[in-house]
Chain A
Amino acid sequence: MAYELIGKNFTPPDLHAKVTGKAKYSEDVRVDGMVFVKVLGSPMPHARVTAIDDSAALAMPGVHGVLKADEIATNPPAPQETILTNEPLFVGHPILAVAADTEELASDALEKIKLTYEELPFTVDPLQSLYPGGPNARTNGNSMAGPELRDVKWTAQDFAAVQEGQLPQGAPGAEWSFGDLEAGFAAAKVVLDETFVTAGLAHHSMEPRSALSYWQNGKCYLYGSTQSQSFPFPTIARLVGVEAENLVYVSEFCGGGFGSKGGAYPLMAIPALMAKKINRPVMMRVSRHEEYFMGSARAGFQGRIKMGFAADGRVTAADLYIVQECGPNQGFTDWLSAAEAVSLVYQPPAMRFRGVSVMTNTPPRGPQRGPGQNQIAAAVEPLIDKAAKQLGVDRVAIRRLNAPDNSAKLGARQGGVTSAYLKNALDRGAEVFGWAERQARSGQRNGSKVRAVGVGTAFHPAGNSGFDGLVRITPDGKIHIHTGVGNLGTFSHTVTSRVAAEVLKAKWENCEVVRGDSSKHLPWNLGQFGSNTSFTMTRTNYAAAMDAVAKLKEIAAMDLGGAPADYDIGGERVFAKSDPSKGLTYAQAAQRAIALGGKFDGHVAPDDLNAMTKASAAGVAGTGLVGVAKDNVPLTGTVPALAAGFIEIELDTETGKFAVLDYVGVADCGTVLHPQGLDHQIKSGAVMGFGLAASERHIYDPQNGLPGNVGLLQAKPPSYLDVPSEMKTAWLDIADPQNPVGSRGIGEPVQGCAAAALLCAISDALGGHYFNRTPVMPDMIVNAAAKREPSHKPLQVNTA
């Protein structure tokens, strides 16, 4: 399919602001009379606040108010994540907030507040909490079963029944299976039974989630940092306690989220609630340390997988158990998604999943890039290598054999996919990377250094349907593409909007992307998470643009005769197919739309639109020709994003350090919308993958619940010098049949495949030493190379 705009590079309109410093993130907004709010975070891992004496703080000149949990009517009820709390559940948990003229004064005021605490039991290890009599993160329980909080304990026999280093497998909180597990393992030539640990780690988005709010005439204005623009809106309104028409939410620029800012989060309500209380504009500048505590983290896994492989490497059965560390709240669905990922990536004919999600007194967990899918890729991919080695099968070949294609099934219900070409991706990557040649020289030593290669694959569901689009042609001939897509750094707000321009055959210079401020009448979109945007919002823009095209033709037929089907569009005109000179310019059609009113100019809008879109259509009604529609095209099957990564490293056995010599990332994501952007995501996803694999983790002291690595220095996200100077990318560009331009999303598996490839390469460099743990850090490599035992126990979590 030859497109004018799709698949072409362009300059995203927000780039200029980003390179000149003009881009305004929340903390850059300035309002006359604004004061500063600072939050008091708990010094203890679990406690009850029994008394708050804020009198000394309130007496300080320049201190405007203190906000406490009890006065927040909209505080989500336990066990949800709270705005403020009197039962802090982790070190750093926000208890109260103080507003003052300056940030320094607010900090001084916090120090004057006297709190009395009652210490409560705590835990930083799910298995400890599962053990009989073990401490619970919450006073009423340690695990959610649906909406119910339960106290889940395994039996002493469960723990005694396993060997040292094996995950005990007590009663699960969730379970599913398909196929004949027993027969599958019986038919296997090689059966692995591996226990593994993947670390929780902080998102550490570059921009801490500062927010600014003020009220004017009963309306709340909130400037916040979210990955998405429309999606968070209803939740923010609820948290702040206003109806939709009384909220203006602006998130024009977001300095990264990686899942932690996909939707609204309770913290963002604090400046709004404080501003309402003290009747002043309030800035909440979140520090890096606070961003660690309140900015979400990936769930940790203590897991075990039993996998059977036939002689040719085909997976015959998989039995997966995951104990998820989900922080002090419900956490996220990593444990469930991990199982789904295993079912998709390896296509086991028989599989069982069991799991339990257990709370700890550590920062709340939320989705982090490939939540579940990327941890399990990091854990399981090296085990695929282990099986391949035992069977004498090539590591790319074994993955190719098991890889999903169009007939793939996934999950408990073994549903289908819209399309999948992971085999092709592996073939392409192997070719670009030169797998055969490099694999042959893998293991070559140069003094203490050894070269090694690795390959990794990953998956994430990547698309949804049922959301709305809104486009508008004004009498000056300009096309305004309204989008609810946020600005998290993928440029997808504009990339997906180009579908509307493509459908309208519009010149890109005549198009304006309208975004970033809820008062600009934006449609209801799904949020920018879950790798969905390139599928979901290409559909919405397609639907809205098609509605506009239909209306253009209708107006032309009305004015010029014939039926709408007699007309075509091109050159920003709608014209008769039989006589192209007979037509209207878009500008003229827009004027006509206003004159006609009704559905043409947005005064009447389809009934199935979301309330937000209806309000937005009403808001632009009368300004031009309005195309507004819900994406009602059915979606059958899961839309997959698939990626493969190929890596060559040189590892120094004496120091435990390695250098990445080469990396090739391959994307199977349908039609490529924006080559430069995809190239960017594959490479940057790899950087995050290297961090997941080899440098980042939570550290907690189990004796006192103190966090060991709060700031960026200690968190160790990869720097320029920890990643290769150059990387290569490739993509299949095979259209998906269930998207109007063939596009699927891609943002998450490009991290997982890189993490997996790196871990496989490290194991390869060490001659087949499998750590069964992430991250693999220099100390672990040094110990392994020196044939020493690791310092940590196999199931130990949150450890240095």
Chain B
Amino acid sequence: MSRDMMSAFELYQPDTVEGAAELLGRFGEEGWALAGGNDSFDWFKDRVKRPKYVVDLSGIAALKGIRETPDGGVEIGALTTLTEVERSSVIQGRYKLLADAARRVASPQIRNAGTLGGNVAQDARCWYYRYGVNCYRAGGNTCYADTPEGQNREHCLWGADRCVAVSPSDTAPALVALDATMVIVGKGGQREVKAEEFFIGPNIDITNMTVLKDGDVLTAIRLPAEWSGARFYFEKVADRNTWDFPLVNIAAAMKVSGAAGAEKVDQIRIVAGAVQCVPRRLTVVEQVVQGQAKTAEMASLAGQSAVRGATPLNFNHFKIPLLQNLVTRAIRDA
């Protein structure tokens, strides 16, 4: 039951990454890393999550900005706002997939404050979980959504493992498609984790959506040169055309050769969001499509291959044809 007034917490506003990591490391599970706040304040106002210590990262200049790196890639500070990512000429020019994804997140005001790091680290949107029930993800021992009459329209097609929530981020599939690397500073120093491994499902840790632990600060997201300037396709289908989380989204990066009308997909990375607890890399589709002609028939075959093994719940059957269609469109229309 929500009350709208956040319960009291201590607020820390460090201006260095080291300071933030040190604080978060010390506070442990009583601490909370705050970026844009759009995800956090919801929990706090409902009083479902009530950290004792909130560490506001928004004053750390080192976490902001988009810079081209010597290896030909790009590094984006985790606290860079989604609006900056969307409008960056570098991202639009070389990694348009991410700009397209960032543009579709939520609403303009949320994009103005919301950060890329926050968007990938955000928590699940399952309405039962958000309501505050004591489900597995909340540390309890039940799931409300995966029940005979559970209202699970927006839940997963794969990877159900006591929890059936999905990855709600729009930028996450794009980053996985771009083979991004997350840079994390924590107790053991700095480490790099591939985007695909950054997101975890209930089989690894049912209470966390990513590998970030207490004490960690996601500092940057690196895009390798490999997919710079590739052929991209991003599409998000949601109930409304603003604010709403994806019902399904698709992010694809392709290397295409050949003349128009006779194109061939040499390499492809294609990732679906909101169908699994993590952004789902559609490796079957990649295997089917790689090296093949980029035709409507191939696109259709790709779509069919994408949904093999999907296990619908009570109300999310539609995600099967929807995912199939989005994959088809990605191959056909990119």
Chains A and B share a contact (CB less than 8 Å): yes
Q: Which residues of A contact B (CB under 8 A)?
A: 38, 40-41, 43, 92, 102-104, 106-108, 110-111, 287-289, 448, 654-657, 695, 699-704, 706, 708-710, 713-714, 716, 718-722, 777-780, 782-783, 785-786, 788-789, 791-792, 799-800
In the bound complex, residues from chain A placing their C-beta under 8 Å from that of B239 are 695, 716, 777-778
Q: Is the CB of A701 within 8 A of B322?
A: no
B contacts with A, residue count (CB < 8 A): 43
> Given A287-B2, A720-B242 in contact, is the A779-B127 Cβ separation under 8 Å?
no
In the bound complex, residues from chain A placing their C-beta under 8 Å from that of B315 are 779, 791-792, 799-800
Q: Is the CB of A788 within 8 A of B321?
A: yes
* Partner among B3, B242, B314 whose Cβ is within 8 Å of the Cβ of A107: B3
Q: Does B5 contact A (CB under 8 A)?
A: yes
Q: Is the CB of A791 within 8 A of B240?
A: no
Q: Does B149 contact A (CB under 8 A)?
A: yes
In the bound complex, residues from chain B placing their C-beta under 8 Å from that of A710 are 2, 131
Q: Is the CB of A786 within 8 A of B321?
A: yes
Q: Is the CB of A654 within 8 A of B151?
A: no
Q: Is the CB of A104 within 8 A of B240?
A: no
Q: Is the CB of A657 within 8 A of B5?
A: no
* Partner among B1, B5, B240, B322 whose Cβ is within 8 Å of the Cβ of A782: B322
13 A-B pairs in the complex with CB atoms less than 8 angstroms apart: A107-B3, A110-B3, A289-B2, A448-B325, A701-B128, A703-B148, A706-B144, A714-B127, A716-B239, A719-B241, A778-B322, A779-B322, A791-B318
Ranked 9 nearest A-B pairs via Cβ:
A800-B153, A721-B241, A779-B318, A654-B325, A786-B321, A104-B5, A107-B3, A287-B4, A289-B2
In the bound complex, residues from chain B placing their C-beta under 8 Å from that of A108 are 7
Q: Which residues of B contact A (CB under 8 A)?
A: 1-8, 47, 127-128, 131, 133, 144, 147-154, 235, 237, 239-244, 247, 314-319, 321-322, 325-326, 328-329
Q: Is the CB of B237 within 8 A of A783?
A: no
Q: Is the CB of B241 within 8 A of A722?
A: yes
A209 to B241, CA, bound (A): 28
Q: B74 to chain A: closest CB distance in Å?
A: 29
Q: A110-B3, A111-B47, A791-B317 are in contact. List 17 more A-B contacts (CB 8 A).
A: A38-B3, A107-B4, A448-B325, A699-B151, A701-B149, A706-B131, A708-B127, A720-B242, A721-B242, A782-B318, A786-B321, A788-B318, A788-B321, A789-B317, A791-B316, A799-B315, A800-B153
Q: Is the CB of B3 within 8 A of A287?
A: yes
A699 to B314, CA, bound (A): 14
Q: Is the CB of B237 within 8 A of A657?
A: yes
Q: Is the CB of A654 within 8 A of B329?
A: yes
Q: Is the CB of A41 within 8 A of B1?
A: yes
Q: Is the CB of B244 within 8 A of A701?
A: no
In the bound complex, residues from chain A placing their C-beta under 8 Å from that of B150 are 701, 703
Q: Is the CB of B5 within 8 A of A103?
A: yes
Q: Is the CB of A782 within 8 A of B153?
A: no
A700 to B149, CA, bound (A): 10
In the bound complex, residues from chain A placing their C-beta under 8 Å from that of B316 are 779, 791
In the bound complex, residues from chain A placing their C-beta under 8 Å from that of B8 are 104
Residue on B nearest A43 in the bound complex, by CB: B1
* Partner among B4, B5, B152, B317 whose Cβ is within 8 Å of the Cβ of A783: B317
In the bound complex, residues from chain B placing their C-beta under 8 Å from that of A38 are 3
Residue on A nearest B147 in the bound complex, by CB: A703
> Given A655-B322, A657-B237, A703-B147 in contact, is the A713-B153 Cβ separation under 8 Å?
no
A789 to B152, CA, bound (A): 17
* Partner among A103, A700, A703, A718 whose Cβ is within 8 Å of the Cβ of B240: A718
> Given A782-B322, A783-B317, A788-B321 in contact, is the A107-B5 Cβ separation under 8 Å?
yes
A791 to B149, CA, bound (A): 11
In the bound complex, residues from chain A placing their C-beta under 8 Å from that of B152 are 800
Q: Is the CB of A655 within 8 A of B237?
A: yes
A721 to B236, CA, bound (A): 14
A657 to B144, CA, bound (A): 29
Q: B102 to chain A: closest CB distance in Å?
A: 17
Q: A433 to chain B: closest CB distance in Å?
A: 24
Q: Is the CB of A708 within 8 A of B151?
A: yes
A702 to B240, CA, bound (A): 26
A104 to B9, CA, bound (A): 12
Q: B218 to chain A: closest CB distance in Å?
A: 25
> Given A655-B322, A656-B318, A701-B151 in contact, is the A709-B3 Cβ separation under 8 Å?
no
A716 to B247, CA, bound (A): 14
Q: Is the CB of A709 within 8 A of B243?
A: no
Q: B327 to chain A: closest CB distance in Å?
A: 11
> Given A706-B128, A708-B151, A779-B247 in contact, is the A791-B314 Cβ separation under 8 Å?
yes
* Partner among B1, B47, B151, B237 whose Cβ is within 8 Å of the Cβ of A799: B151
Residue on B nearest A787 in the bound complex, by CB: B321
A703 to B318, CA, bound (A): 23
Residue on A nearest B333 in the bound complex, by CB: A447
Q: Is the CB of A713 within 8 A of B3?
A: no
In the bound complex, residues from chain A placing their C-beta under 8 Å from that of B318 are 656, 778-780, 782-783, 788, 791
* Partner among A654, A703, A786, A789 whose Cβ is within 8 Å of the Cβ of B149: A703
Q: B41 to chain A: closest CB distance in Å?
A: 13
Q: Is the CB of B242 within 8 A of A778?
A: no
Q: A297 to chain B: closest CB distance in Å?
A: 17
Q: B322 to chain A: closest CB distance in Å?
A: 5
Q: B311 to chain A: closest CB distance in Å?
A: 14
Interface centre among B131, B148, B316 (most CB of A within 10 A): B131
In the bound complex, residues from chain A placing their C-beta under 8 Å from that of B7 are 104, 107-108
Q: Is the CB of B325 within 8 A of A791?
A: no
* Partner among B240, B317, B329 whose Cβ is within 8 Å of the Cβ of A721: B240
Interface centre among A710, A782, A785 (most CB of B within 10 A): A782
In the bound complex, residues from chain A placing their C-beta under 8 Å from that of B131 are 706, 710
In the bound complex, residues from chain B placing their C-beta under 8 Å from that of A448 are 325, 329
A800 to B317, CA, bound (A): 12
A102 to B5, CA, bound (A): 10
In the bound complex, residues from chain A placing their C-beta under 8 Å from that of B322 are 655-656, 778-779, 782
> Given A706-B128, A780-B318, A782-B321 in contact, is the A289-B4 Cβ separation under 8 Å?
yes
A786 to B312, CA, bound (A): 15
A584 to B288, CA, bound (A): 94
Interface centre among B152, B154, B318 (most CB of A within 10 A): B318
Q: Is the CB of A783 within 8 A of B241?
A: no
In the bound complex, residues from chain B placing their C-beta under 8 Å from that of A709 are 127
In the bound complex, residues from chain B placing their C-beta under 8 Å from that of A703 are 144, 147-150
* Partner among B148, B237, B329 whose Cβ is within 8 Å of the Cβ of A778: B237
Q: Is the CB of A778 within 8 A of B321?
A: no
Residue on B nearest A720 in the bound complex, by CB: B242
Q: A106 to chain B: closest CB distance in Å?
A: 8
A778 to B244, CA, bound (A): 13
Interface centre among A288, A779, A791 (most CB of B within 10 A): A779
A741 to B169, CA, bound (A): 57
A655 to B7, CA, bound (A): 42
> Given A287-B4, A706-B128, A783-B317 in contact, is the A107-B240 Cβ separation under 8 Å?
no
In the bound complex, residues from chain B placing their C-beta under 8 Å from that of A791 are 153, 314-318
A657 to B240, CA, bound (A): 9
A287 to B4, CA, bound (A): 7
Residue on A nearest B303 in the bound complex, by CB: A654
Q: A46 to chain B: closest CB distance in Å?
A: 16
In the bound complex, residues from chain B placing their C-beta under 8 Å from that of A779 are 153, 247, 315-316, 318-319, 322
> Given A721-B242, A778-B247 in contact, is the A656-B47 Cβ separation under 8 Å?
no
* Partner among B235, B237, B243, B326 whose Cβ is within 8 Å of the Cβ of A719: B243
Q: Is the CB of A716 within 8 A of B325?
A: no
Q: A718 to chain B: closest CB distance in Å?
A: 7
Q: A157 to chain B: closest CB distance in Å?
A: 26
Q: Is the CB of B240 within 8 A of A695?
A: yes
Q: B324 to chain A: closest CB distance in Å?
A: 8
Q: Is the CB of A788 within 8 A of B144?
A: no
In the bound complex, residues from chain B placing their C-beta under 8 Å from that of A714 are 127
A108 to B47, CA, bound (A): 10
In the bound complex, residues from chain B placing their C-beta under 8 Å from that of A792 are 315
In the bound complex, residues from chain A placing their C-beta under 8 Å from that of B244 are 713, 716
